[in-house]
Structure 1
């Protein structure tokens, strides 16, 4: 069983984390967003955005761990985590597409396919 696809998935999550952080900085710099500074939506939106970046980084580390030992994906809990991650990626891709943010939708869709293929190969 080759760990290469899982390593690629891990790298994609690290890149997603960096891209997510950059997008967050752009989003929070929007003058409309700055008008709500100090409110609950501003606080939750900002914190939630950067928590998302941390989640993507953590997910990259998880995939790296799986690439080091793909047999971990035989465990039902690890399979469930991989499935949840894949569902989140696809759902996010569709959501962004629905609201016209096509570049992000495409990147997430590619990452979802890569992750599904890598995990699927490891689970066989």
Structure 2
């Protein structure tokens, strides 16, 4: 052995395992080496344990891919549901359109082919009113009545709501024409008086409003409130002027329909209410003027009704 090894062995400064190996006999050393080699050979020849199959879902990448596929599947199912609803709506609309077209064809056929030869009974007979008209036995036109009214069918009200409405419209037209002809050269005096009275009321209302605008109490109001008061006076004057124009029109033609009568009645009520209000406030001249105009309006409307 080298002197350094002997010194180390003598001073026991090397590792304990090395000291034991140096102190051991050569036979024990060989036996331990043999056992170590055998152990290594057993480890080498030991069969490897089979690895478990790799589950891609357990990996982060697999989890992300699986989540994407699930979301895509949900989106696909939702798209299928929406497509089914759209198809159902299209089918319903298509059926409604087909039904409307069939209904229109049926109505058109019934209106276009409502002649005397469309019925099997008239076709079997072989003779209709048209044949008699063609031979000259019956006149082809409906005679005008002696009182100058328009032509009307005898069974107009029996054929349906459309004929009844047409007859009512013709009646209104005749009434307006007759009333206009009778009133062409003569005006209703009460309605003319109401027209003049409404005009005077409008002028008086506006002049009184202008006087009120100069008053100190009106000028002391805020700008917005002062503007509202002025607008109210102007609206009152404009309303009276419109009523004057309507009364002049009624004096020419009369109250022809229910709308004219309703407006006239409403105007009488407004004038009467205003007269009562002014009477309670102590303004008797204004109340008297409004009462006179209301009476003229009511009598004129009653006398001008056909």
Q: What is the TM-score with the length of structure 2 in the denominator?
A: 0.38
Consecutive unaligned residues in structure 2, runs of 5 or more = 1-182
**What residue is the counterpart of 2:217 in the other structure?**
32
**What residue is the counterpart of 1:69 in the other structure?**
253
Q: C-alpha displacement at 1:103, in angstroms?
A: 1.1
Q: C-alpha displacement at 1:121, in angstroms?
A: 1.1
What is the alpha-carbon distance in structure 2 between the residues aligned to residue 80 and residue 45 of structure 1? 29
Q: C-alpha displacement at 1:44, in angstroms?
A: 1.3
What is the alpha-carbon distance in structure 2 between the residues aligned to residue 116 and residue 90 of structure 1? 10
Greater per-residue helix proportion = 1
Radius of gyration: which is bigger? Answer: 2
What is the alpha-carbon distance in structure 2 between the residues aligned to residue 20 and residue 93 of structure 1? 14
Q: C-alpha displacement at 1:101, in angstroms?
A: 1.2
* Structure 1 counterpart of 2:265, from 77, 83, 106: 83
Q: C-alpha displacement at 1:37, in angstroms?
A: 4.5
Three-state SS of the structure 1 residue aligned to 2:218 is: helix
Q: C-alpha displacement at 1:39, in angstroms?
A: 2.8
Q: What is the CA deviation profile of residues 32-80 of structure 1, one whole-angstrom value per residue up to 9, with x for unaligned ones?
A: 111004133x22111011111011001100000000101xx13101100
Q: What is the TM-score with the length of structure 1 in the denominator?
A: 0.91
* Structure 2 counterpart of 1:49, from 224, 233, 237: 233
* Large movers: runs of 4+ above 3 Å: none
What is the alpha-carbon distance in structure 2 between the residues aligned to residue 30 and residue 103 of structure 1? 21
What is the alpha-carbon distance in structure 2 between the residues aligned to residue 27 and residue 108 of structure 1? 20
- Asked which structure has the greater RCO (Cα within 8 Å, sep 6+), the reply is 1
